[in-house]
Structure 1
């Protein structure tokens, strides 16, 4: 793709989206403010690891539907399964046999769980888990790890910079502790004895593996203080392991929350856990019942059919090994380019090979949104779209080769900016900005 790549049609459609949709997108992470000004493509279709926008530009895509697409866009076995489900009807007034089959599939893969309930979004199931923990313990407070995102609901958003509209009383119910810092969690328990209903965390992240004994220590603290341990497996599930990261690290939570990759982009999530907890939302209990999950579309057939087809693909193939191998090569070769250009202290790819991110730093070695904007801009110009290097099993060796070649071109410009002391004259308009921030600036629309 030439430096003169055009986004004129995308820009017209994006302007119209801003008139009709707050933020111009239905997910903040998909917003135009996450991309260089006037370089946010509106996509038309995708196949495998490639997407095409309304201007006819072709891109290798990374991030893959916010990490939800592991097998590739339009992966035929999933599409075929969904088409067959649609032909027999999508939503009914009673459960379908598909619900039972999907539940059996899921619980076969996650042996630490006794029961499962399906929903549509990760936020659905993390919030259901919090409610269940509060009901089971009779407590109100929640200890959450300092991970970027758990839910769109008040119990989490109250702790972010976009807490406008949420009562302070809600914010006071949620406390934070640090990943791989067991003492920070122990301090919360000591300060709030008999008050913490649940501890929720991702067992691992793209850039952080659990330190020796950390997850075991979290498990022990929850047991000692009577709190429910919740693992957020929405990213790690089917990307670290089809059995979840819990199977890799050998620590079993009381409840776990799943989503994203389990449907290869189709809307499905899952809450799984111990029978005694899950039954509080069922009929085999004498306690006050919990309104756990009850949604019109929680068990519609397309999501369940997609999930079952994904499970079959993981049994038939080894998508995780494919992602790990391709991701490792991508990281090594991109970092080699950065070292060759002498800017490896300013730009690097890091993280688990199946969930790579890149760090952009300025001449003072500080994280920089300006330099991130420059890198995204140059990658778009060479036909690579992505806020990360999160890969899929559909990325081919040629895709990786083309990406590395594109990075080389982009990093030559990046080095030029470092030598000049900044990006002036190299980017147009305001830089990208964090998706969750208090004010619209620096990407406020209008004058």
Structure 2
């Protein structure tokens, strides 16, 4: 099956982060179904899954409320030549959830809405530069961002020069950008927080003040923080409101739906209540199809009635405490640790000298896969039970025994089978090039 994928699909997957080069060689499962926090592959293996659809699933696979909502709209058709009542209801649900947003437009993926936000900011300000946070790994598949990463073949140099960067929690680096590019920065794009970094006191407020003073549009990327930090995203948690915010991933619990939301005066530049030149904001055939909007509405309802974030945080703390205790007991705590926000955890893997290591990361992934745990991270969902967490901790304990032997040997040689994983957005297929 893996061979057929690579023969038919460039890279063997439709998302680079899902590629087989992100897993131990010859061990990347091809999946057939999922339920709750577990998935099954074509060979019949069952895994406790983490990462949860690249952080897109917070309620668990095949959540009954979401599945039932989708089934309820299917019989009435899914795509029409005029808006449906579902679009009104979904917009009302979304705007009731997100503080400060006055209008919303739906799409199918995060890249479309972040690029629409950038285009809108450029039109509103008449400026061309985009300032992005260099510490944040991904904003869009479009040229304005991909031109800044190592995998940027095909993107003109002139396009790359229109994106500049600053450092997270470093307000002075942003001030220097504004000083260097006076009246040229259209927008500031960042995640308000990440799994590994919380905003320092005054940082987000300082960014907000700089944007206000310079007439710059502030854009929050809420792809990960939305419905994982809180239903209303990071802006709800930290109390700083952006001019525009971009949403996706968990808002549909795996169904393809994204959203651009923001101030009415900005959003209307793509509408019919403006005398200014109109912005081609978002215009997608499948953006308003009823299935994904029904899924979003079901997710929003679950968040109103329950507290999935609290469940993720409780399970995440349980997992981190258990794995980190195993690492301490086995004397490898300096090499392996679970870190990050409890609802969005990752694991770090280091060699005997304390350096981050892809080789040792791959060894850890290999040993977890052998013991029924699948995940490039420990990003959890509300569907993970304490039993799932206990199974994961047990698998980690056994994996860390192998890890310790490799550390003592000074090499993964003899322990790791095949080549190590490689960065997803690298410039060449090597070191995981296929023959």
Please indicate the TM-score interval, normalised by the length of the shorter structure.
over 0.9
- Secondary structure of 1:409 counterpart: helix
| Aligned-pair CA distance for 1:110 | 1.1
In the alignment, what sits opposite 2:52? 64
| Aligned-pair CA distance for 1:111 | 2.5
| Aligned: 1:83 with 2:71 | yes
Distance 1:244 1:45 in 2: 29
In the alignment, what sits opposite 2:237? 248
| Aligned-pair CA distance for 1:227 | 0.7
> For residues 233-312 of structure 1, what are the structure 2 equivalents within 5 Å?
233-312=222-301
Distance 1:111 1:314 in 2: 15
> For residues 298-377 of structure 1, what are the structure 2 equivalents within 5 Å?
298-377=287-366
In the alignment, what sits opposite 1:4? none
Equivalent pairs counted in the alignment come to 434
Distance 2:20 2:127 in 1: 41
- Secondary structure of 2:343 counterpart: helix
In the alignment, what sits opposite 1:149? 138
Distance 2:80 2:410 in 1: 62
> For residues 198-237 of structure 1, what are the structure 2 equivalents within 5 Å?
198-237=187-226
Distance 2:233 2:357 in 1: 33
| Aligned: 1:16 with 2:4 | yes
Maintained 8 Å contact 2:115/2:142: yes
CA RMSD of aligned residues (A): 0.5
> For residues 91-102 of structure 1, what are the structure 2 equivalents within 5 Å?
91-102=79-90
| Aligned: 1:114 with 2:137 | no
In the alignment, what sits opposite 1:41? 29
| Aligned-pair CA distance for 1:316 | 1.5
CA offsets 1:88-141 (integer angstroms, 9 cap, x no match): 100000000000000000001113010000001010100000000000000000
CA offsets 1:402-438 (integer angstroms, 9 cap, x no match): 0000000000000000000010011122100111100
Distance 1:124 1:268 in 2: 11
Maintained 8 Å contact 2:95/2:102: yes
Distance 1:386 1:95 in 2: 39
Distance 1:339 1:224 in 2: 49
- Secondary structure of 1:222 counterpart: helix
In the alignment, what sits opposite 1:432? 421
Distance 2:168 2:333 in 1: 26
| Aligned-pair CA distance for 1:352 | 0.2
- Secondary structure of 1:240 counterpart: coil
- Secondary structure of 1:355 counterpart: coil
TM-score by length of 2: 0.99
In the alignment, what sits opposite 1:388? 377
CA offsets 1:204-259 (integer angstroms, 9 cap, x no match): 00000000100001001111111100000010000000011111111000000000
* Gap runs ≥5 in structure 1: 1-12
TM-score by length of 1: 0.97
- Secondary structure of 1:98 counterpart: helix
CA offsets 1:249-282 (integer angstroms, 9 cap, x no match): 1100000000000000000000000000000000
Distance 1:364 1:60 in 2: 31
Distance 1:425 1:342 in 2: 21
In the alignment, what sits opposite 2:176? 187
In the alignment, what sits opposite 1:26? 14
Displacement over 4 Å in runs of 4+: none
